[in-house]
Amino acid sequence: MNEKLKKLTHRQSKFIDEYLIDLNATQAAIRSGYSYKTARTIAANLLAHVNIQRHISIKREQMAADAGVTQERVINEYARIAFLDPSALFDDDGKLIPLHKLPKNVVAAIAGMDHVISRIGSGDDSEIEHTKKIKICDKLKALDSLSRHLGIFEKDNSQKQGDALFELLSKIASQGSPKPKSDDSDSSE
């Protein structure tokens, strides 16, 4: 990477921008003005160029930085999902805590919620029943992703980042999911 980046043609630059939208090289070539008939071959050739790859890499890094996406932030999100204690969703009486009163680390592990309102019976004797369903993000997938990142399942994992990362994950795991306090001072917005 010490070599100087070579200047791109307008069409190559457009291809990179289009490619980074959906990572579909053929469609990026077409959207960049290359022929539909030869787009697949041209896309493969463009992606094979070291200079194009370097420009793509630089743009990806810039996009991630602009969006605030860092390795630590991604790992923290996986850890929130992997180490969620579902009891943090309920108060001491077993009632579901309102979403706006849950801590952010608990909310981060929620994939979705449904609130079903149904009427039981008919006429004056009918009652309204509320059913709340919470879908939690897949803990096993999050644990698997963290395990692969840490190289737990492989003897030699080139992704292993060292002791600092392991210590961060251990610290997060040991803290667990805090039980929300009953007052509004700890609630997330």
- How do residues 115-140 score in pLDDT, each as one tens digit? 888 888 887 788 888 888 889 999 99
Separation CA 89–CA 94 (nearest Å): 9
Q: Give the whole-angstrom CA distance, residue 16 versus residue 24.
A: 11
**Can you list the domains of the chain with their CATH numbers?**
10-67 (1.10.10.1400), 72-180 (no CATH)
Sign of the torsion angle spanned by Cα atoms 32, 38, 44, 50: negative
Residue 177 to residue 90: CA distance in whole angstroms:
12
pLDDT digit string, tens, across residues 53-95: 999 999 999 998 898 888 888 899 999 999 999 999 999 998 8
Bridge partners of 120, per DSSP, are 127
Q: Which residue has the tokens 């992606």?
A: 47
Q: What is the pLDDT of residues 157-189, one digit of tens each?
A: 455 555 666 677 777 777 765 555 555 444 443
Task: Pick the range with the lowest mean pLDDT from 115-119, 146-150, 151-155, 161-165.
Answer: 161-165
Question: Does the model's pTM come out above 0.75?
Answer: no
Rounded (10°) CA dihedral 139, 76, 99, 87: 50
Strand-pair partners of 131: 116
d(CA 80, CA 86): 11
